[in-house]
Amino acid sequence: MEEIITTYCRMCLEECCINVHIKDGKIIDIKGNKNHPWNEGKVCVKGKAAMDWVYSENRIKKPLKKTEAGWKEVSLEKALDEIAEKMKGLKERYGAESVSFWKGEAIGFGQQEEYIRRFCHAFGTPNYFSCDSLCFASRYMGYSLVEGKMSTPDFQNSNYIVIWGNNPVITHINTAARIRKARKNGAKLVVIDPRETETASLADLHIQINPGTDGALALGIINLIVKNNWYDKEFVSEYTIGFEKLKNYAKKFSPDYVKEETGVSKDRLYSLARDFSKHAPKAINHSGNGLEHHENGVNNIRAIASIGALCGCIDKKGGELLLEGLETRSLTLYDELPLEDIQPIGAQKFPLLYQYRRECNTMLGMEAILNGDPYHIRGMIITAANPALTNPNSNKVKNSLKNLELLVVRDLFMTETAEFADYVLPAASFFERSELVLNSNIKRVGLRKEIFTYKDCQDEYEFLESIAKRVGIKEYFPWDNEDEVNKWLLEGTEVSYKDLKEAELGVKYGDIKYRKYKEQPFNTLSGKIEFAARHLKNMGFSALPKYKLPSYAGALKQEYPYVLITGARKMYHVHSRNGTMPDYLKDKVRPEVEIHPKDGKKLGVKDGDIVELSSKIGSIEISAKIVGEEDIMPKVLQITHGWRNFNVNEITDDFMNDPLSGFPAVRSLPVKVKKVKGN
């Protein structure tokens, strides 16, 4: 008999509500839940493939220990005992800070992240690493420095939508659906991207821009808005600081100067500034991952965030909302065990990253392993991350992993990173754990259900509780299972766990409130929107969102005449996830470098030829794809990342980075190209 269980997908950040069809104890189909207000029945190809993912013949189901003879299966109890003993030994010899944890995107955020943060502080180490030091945190910082938190676009109620460096048609299907609805209601869509992405193909206007120069375009828009008095004077006067400083700095960004820097015509710059302000406050700037990976990413994003603030779009219907999530209890031990006397890795060089995200920079983590700066990392426990493939300068990453005294990897598959581990532990998939699913976009909390389990595949709480018991910190993990944790988290909120467990579509909490700034200050130091952040000046940075010309346009231009964008997304995988499923990816996508036809002709390269790409870090060979005239800008190349047996991060630079966030400039990398072999 077939059973249907309603739960939430975790193949990406969208967390769509899905109906899982089960027969004889096995998943036979996955469909979107048509009644849920978030995805309204939609589920992407990744969600549909989740059952192949969890039942893959390549999945690890038994703990593995590396020996001189190779990998050896051991019992879970033996593996946990040995890992705990080694962790205790490192703590005794070098201090708790010598042990670190690294969480990947594949396991999720929120509750899963807080389990690890809790363990870190209970054990005594401040060294928590995650994918956030390569993704999202830079945007979070950019918006928070201006608005006090990261705003959320109210797509469905907007009249004018500008997408900067994001491709939601591929990466966020529910965002894309809301944009399509807005367009049906008459909204205009503008996409700013060097490539004609799937989202750009839907746009009323696609503006191609030189990679990494978005800040110059944003400041040019600000200059025209102010010069023509198109801004919201009342909002600016009452709720912002630093307007005059921003106004004076933006004067430099004339239409001629902006065209020279960005490649965007004066007419398009003018229409952008005019049309955005004309549609305000129901106008949106939405920036994506493509804005973060540049030497000036945070300030570029600050400049973009300032446009909406100038036009009074903040926290208004159809604009950029400052949503309030459900205030659950915190699993972290920041207050109880603050660890103030131990310097976290990278907190001195990138203090804002630690201030805003309470985590360490992963690139500096590699340096700490190799060079002991400020001290040596000796042990690392990695969950659901594959830095040997997805971090920049992967050869350095691999060398760092080799130098650890203890490396434990928890994953569903034998990844490139797991190959370097001392122990590989089988992890639970999202079908095998229970947790809260919080969605502030629709003010709703759902429950991800544990549908089945494999004996040795522990969820994150089970693993950490098992280790906590063995290293003497069990008191900080008092719950018997995740069900008890879920109940504890909701205590004191308006949502009852009993009601949540009985509600198929989750429980709604409250309503979206607009213009909250009239009753409470913005979450900035001044309590206002900050066009100029004074505390940044005190930290040695510019108070203003100052623009910096990317390196590829400067001294390196002659030796490395092309600029490479890495990390663009394909529908079929997220980072390196799903790369272990060859049948799933077969005939769908392959690693290749996108080249403009003019550049292909100049290089003597045709579609399918093998070319060599070189940076100052190294060289790789890859198949060429000559794209259409409008698909990418001349002199700009693009490669997706996350492929097994091909790694673009062998040539990306880990220390050409943003001084505010530490993010690597992997989307504006200077390279040279030569043909190696014909098709």
pLDDT digits (tens, 9 = 90+) for 219-239: 999 999 999 999 999 999 999
CA-wise closest residue to 342 among 377, 369, 366, 371? 377
**pLDDT confidence band for 576 (50 / 70 / 90):** low
Q: Does residue 274 have a pLDDT over 90?
A: yes
User: Can you give the pLDDT at residue 45?
Assistant: 87
The model carries a pTM of 0.95
pLDDT tens, 50-62?
988 899 999 999 9
Average pLDDT over residues 390-416: 97
Percent of the chain with pLDDT over 90: 87
Q: Are residues 160 and 46 in the same domain?
A: no
Q: Does residue 504 have a pLDDT over 70?
A: yes
Angle at 317 between CA 312 and CA 318, to 5 degrees: 85
**Structural domain contains residue 364:** yes
- Among the listed ranges 47-51, 72-76, 508-512, 620-624, which one has the minimum average pLDDT value? 47-51
End-to-end CA, the chain: 53
Give the containing element (helix H, strand E) for 424.
strand 423-426
* Token pair 């909701």: residue: 490
Q: Are residues 663 and 573 in the same domain?
A: yes
Taking the C-alpha atoms of residue 607 and residue 597, their distance in angstroms, rounded to an integer, is 10
Q: Are residues 14 and 81 in the same domain?
A: no
User: Can you give the pLDDT at residue 590?
Assistant: 74
Q: Are residues 267 and 412 in the same domain?
A: no
User: Can you give the pLDDT at residue 316?
Assistant: 98
Q: Are residues 358 and 230 in the same domain?
A: no
654 in Cβ contact with 217 (< 8 Å): no
**Structural domain contains residue 147:** no
**Total count of domains within the chain:** 4
Q: Are residues 257 and 397 in the same domain?
A: no
Q: Are residues 292 and 349 in the same domain?
A: no
**Structural domain contains residue 291:** yes
Q: Does residue 513 have a pLDDT over 80?
A: yes
CATH of the domain at 636: 2.40.40.20
Spell out the residues 6+ positions from residue 371 whose beta carbon is closer than 8 angstroms to its own: none
User: Can you give the pLDDT at residue 581?
Assistant: 57
User: Can you give the pLDDT at residue 579?
Assistant: 60
Q: Are residues 125 and 163 in the same domain?
A: no
Count Cβ atoms within 10 A of the Cβ of residue 439 and give its class: 0-12 exposed, 13-18 middle, 19 or more buried. Answer: buried
Domain carrying residue 647: 551-677
Q: Does residue 494 have a pLDDT over 90?
A: yes
Q: Does residue 588 have a pLDDT over 60?
A: no
Spell out the residues 6+ positions from residue 558 whose beta carbon is closer than 8 angstroms to its own: none
Q: Are residues 109 and 71 in the same domain?
A: yes
Q: Are residues 463 and 332 in the same domain?
A: yes
User: Can you give the pLDDT at residue 473?
Assistant: 98
User: Can you give the pLDDT at residue 641?
Assistant: 78
- The alpha carbon of 669 is separated from its chain's Cα centroid by a whole number of angstroms, namely 19
User: Can you give the pLDDT at residue 584?
Assistant: 52
User: Can you give the pLDDT at residue 406?
Assistant: 99
**Structural domain contains residue 145:** no
**Structural domain contains residue 162:** yes
**pLDDT confidence band for 409 (50 / 70 / 90):** very high
**pLDDT confidence band for 498 (50 / 70 / 90):** very high
**Structural domain contains residue 641:** yes
**pLDDT confidence band for 433 (50 / 70 / 90):** very high
CATH of the domain at 164: 3.40.228.10
Q: Are residues 284 and 356 in the same domain?
A: no
DSSP secondary structure letter of residue 598: H
258 in Cβ contact with 217 (< 8 Å): yes
Q: Mean pLDDT of all residues in the chain?
A: 94
**pLDDT confidence band for 589 (50 / 70 / 90):** low
User: Can you give the pLDDT at residue 556?
Assistant: 52
pLDDT tens, 519-561?
999 999 999 999 999 899 989 999 999 999 998 887 556 789 9
Show which of 18, 33, 54 is a domain's final residue. 54
**Structural domain contains residue 144:** no
Give the containing element (helix H, strand E) for 100.
strand 99-103
**Structural domain contains residue 191:** yes
**pLDDT confidence band for 677 (50 / 70 / 90):** confident
pLDDT tens, 60-105?
999 999 999 999 999 999 999 999 999 999 999 999 999 999 999 8
Q: Are residues 161 and 309 in the same domain?
A: yes
Average pLDDT over residues 161-190: 95
Q: Does residue 400 have a pLDDT over 70?
A: yes
Q: Does residue 141 have a pLDDT over 90?
A: yes
The total of other beta-carbon atoms located within 10 Å of residue 245's CB is 14
261 in Cβ contact with 104 (< 8 Å): no
Residue type, 87: M
Taking the C-alpha atoms of residue 278 and residue 442, their distance in angstroms, rounded to an integer, is 28
